[in-house]
Structure 1
Amino acid sequence: MDIKEIQNLIKFVAKSGASEVKLEMEDVKITIKTGPGYTETTYVQAAPVQQVAPQVAAAPVSQPVVSETPAPVAKAADSSANYITVKSPIIGTFYRKPSPDKPNFVEVGSEINAGDVVCVIEAMKLFNEIESEISGKIVKILVDNASPVEFDQPLFLVDPS
């Protein structure tokens, strides 16, 4: 986890209104406490990770691989430039269908109208129906069923034409 990711996490926690967040991964422990006039951020990173990080940063020995990677990404960005992204309005678990025995709300190629339910996101045992704000055709589903999603995470690509 780099400094930019930590800064983004701090901003996200501050906006969410949470008073304390603890995040522990194999190599990083982060605690963020917020409140009126009180902001504290503590993070601890194990020493072996700091030794490994320079090796990873110095690893781009194969220069052609690094130069080839941006080209496909640029092509993908050009092809999806005319699509609109439907993003998650909340943090929770993404579900493509209302219940296990029902069909999916939408599939790739489905035509949707503004106000149509495209998925459900469960947050704190509440199932929130997510409605499309645009009309169009589902081009791509970006999240797997029953997987966690973050606030503002892209869920679907929609072709508005």
Structure 2
Amino acid sequence: MDLREIQNLIKFVSKSGATEVKLEMDDFKITIKTTSEAAEAAITYVQQAPVSQVSAQAPVAQSENPTAPLEAVDEDSKYITIKSPIIGTLYRKPSPDKAVFVEVGSTISKGDVVCVIEAMKLFNEIESEISGKIVKILVDDMSPVEFDQPLFLVDPS
């Protein structure tokens, strides 16, 4: 895992509202702790081979305008969210050599496949339960998703 991936993980954790995330791989261990009061994320990065520890402080993104987050919530509230029905790995394409199912601006109908989620070596097609236009894609291709995690924002009008 390189520094850029760690930074993306920190951003994801700070946006998710989680207070602590631990990730252990073969050669390293990462613990990310966030506190809303201090508005900081403390990261501990430990490599098993040389057994060194690096600690850093990463600020959580804060808006200078306190009403901006409320406006964003109001703006997004007119959209319907397509959420993950299962835990697994999301794929936006049916196969690596094919085009993505949907893009921002795509018009979808009820029953259209919007992505595939792999769970336990089974590929599950995720169908839209609504008709509308995709306004935002909230998850990257080939990324892990949780149950009930928002995947797409759809404008039903």
More helix by share: 1
Of 80, 92, 95, which aligns to 1:96? Answer: 92
Gaps of 5+ in 1: 7-21, 29-48
C-alpha RMSD over aligned residues = 3.3
CA apart distance, 1:26 = 3.8
Does residue 129 in structure 1 map to residue 129 in structure 2? no
> Could you tell me whether the CA contact under 8 Å between 2:108 and 2:131 is conserved in 1?
yes
User: Hey, what does 1:106 align to over in structure 2?
Assistant: 102
Q: Aligned pair in 2 of structure 1 residues 69, 121: CA closer, same or farther (>3 Å)?
A: farther
More strand by share: 2
Q: TM-score, normalised by structure 2?
A: 0.63
Identity %: 69
Q: How do 1:46-125 residues align onto structure 2 when only pairs under 5 Å count?
A: 57-58=37-38, 68=64, 70-125=66-121
CA apart distance, 1:146 = 0.4
Q: Distance in 2 between matches of 1:67 and 1:129?
A: 37
Q: Distance in 2 between matches of 1:59 and 1:120?
A: 35
Q: Which runs of 4+ in 1 moved over 6 A?
A: none
Of 132, 147, 154, which aligns to 1:151? Answer: 147
Instruction: Flag the structure with larger Rg.
Output: 1
